[in-house]
């Protein structure tokens, strides 16, 4: 058991769903977000922090043994906003981890680092990066920083390319990309339990029948996702419009995110 686990982005969609389910991994849990929030019914320590504030992040990481890094801009946006949180912010986090001797991190990367691959391709950890927007580019940077700090300083990181983490899949694309919160929690458990982690790419998706991604290279983690988006197919087909064959939502793994403009 760790002494203190830090969870960034704890007020966000994924963070809010899982922050009270990781307490068994550490004696103390520290929650952080740029937003001011209260962890009602939870005993965790809450610290408001802007990832772009290097001194603030240095203080935030002090005393932590492990980090689940969910913080940052999670959608396509203006580059200055993405850069501040996802590029400057991730550099600040890894520098703080180096200076405070934190040795293990789960980095919430994104499927959007490979979003321009076609849905007809099955990808593993060797797939070339093909980001579908500036958000995806920022996650490519985060993966590169994690790789550098692993090779140079021995900080181990699970590079989790999260698909679509919601209580249930919402559309046809999510029949392939859905990640249940139960499966994400079990992945976090595996990441902080395995004796030697390294710096693996892990596709964050449940055991979906229609998956595009192959995690065979990360079998040593012992992660066996249990949920399957196929269980929700009938509900999805009743509520969501089926995309046309030439629709980006049906062509690219990044779906409609490939059509986002450059925001000014």
Does the active-site annotation cover 135?
A: yes
| Cα four-point dihedral sign 135, 137, 143, 148 | negative
Annotated catalytic residue within 135, 149, 203, 252: 135
- Tokens representing residue 203 in the block: 């596709």
| Cα four-point dihedral sign 124, 25, 185, 40 | negative
Task: Give the CA count within 13 Å in the CB-facing half-sphere of 215.
Answer: 24
Residue 42: which of 76, 18, 77, 66 has the closest Cα?
A: 18
- Tokens representing residue 135 in the block: 């958000």
In what side-by-side order are the strands of the sheet with 104-110? 45-48, 26-33, 2-8, 66-69, 104-110, 156-162, 201-204
Q: Which residues are catalytic?
A: 135
């Amino acid at each position: 058991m760790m002494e203190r686990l830090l969870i960034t982005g704890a007020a966000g969609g994924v963070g809010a769903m899982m922050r009270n389910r990781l307490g068994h991994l550490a004696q103390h849990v520290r929650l952080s977000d740029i937003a001011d929030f209260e962890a009602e019914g939870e005993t965790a320590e809450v610290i408001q922090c802007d990832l772009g504030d290097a001194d603030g992040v240095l203080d935030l990481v002090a005393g932590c043994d492990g980090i689940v890094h969910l913080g940052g801009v999670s959608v396509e946006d203006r580059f200055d906003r993405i850069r501040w949180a996802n590029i400057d912010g991730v550099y600040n986090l890894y520098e703080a981890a180096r200076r405070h001797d934190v040795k293990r991190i789960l980095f919430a990367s994104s499927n959007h680092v490979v979003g321009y691959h076609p849905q007809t391709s099955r990808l593993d950890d060797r797939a070339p990066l093909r980001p579908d927007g500036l958000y995806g580019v920022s996650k490519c940077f985060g993966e590169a920083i994690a790789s550098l700090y692993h090779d140079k300083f021995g900080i181990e990181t699970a590079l989790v390319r999260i698909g679509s983490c919601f209580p249930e899949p919402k559309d046809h694309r999510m029949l392939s990309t859905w990640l249940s919160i139960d499966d994400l929690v079990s992945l976090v458990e595996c990441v902080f339990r395995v004796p030697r982690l390294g710096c693996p790419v892990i596709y964050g998706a449940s055991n979906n029948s229609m998956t595009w991604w192959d995690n065979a290279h990360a079998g040593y983690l012992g992660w066996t996702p249990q949920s399957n988006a196929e269980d929700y197919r009938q509900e999805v087909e009743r509520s969501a419009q089926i995309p046309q064959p030439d629709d980006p939502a049906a062509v690219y793994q990044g779906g409609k995110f490939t059509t986002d403009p450059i925001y000014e």
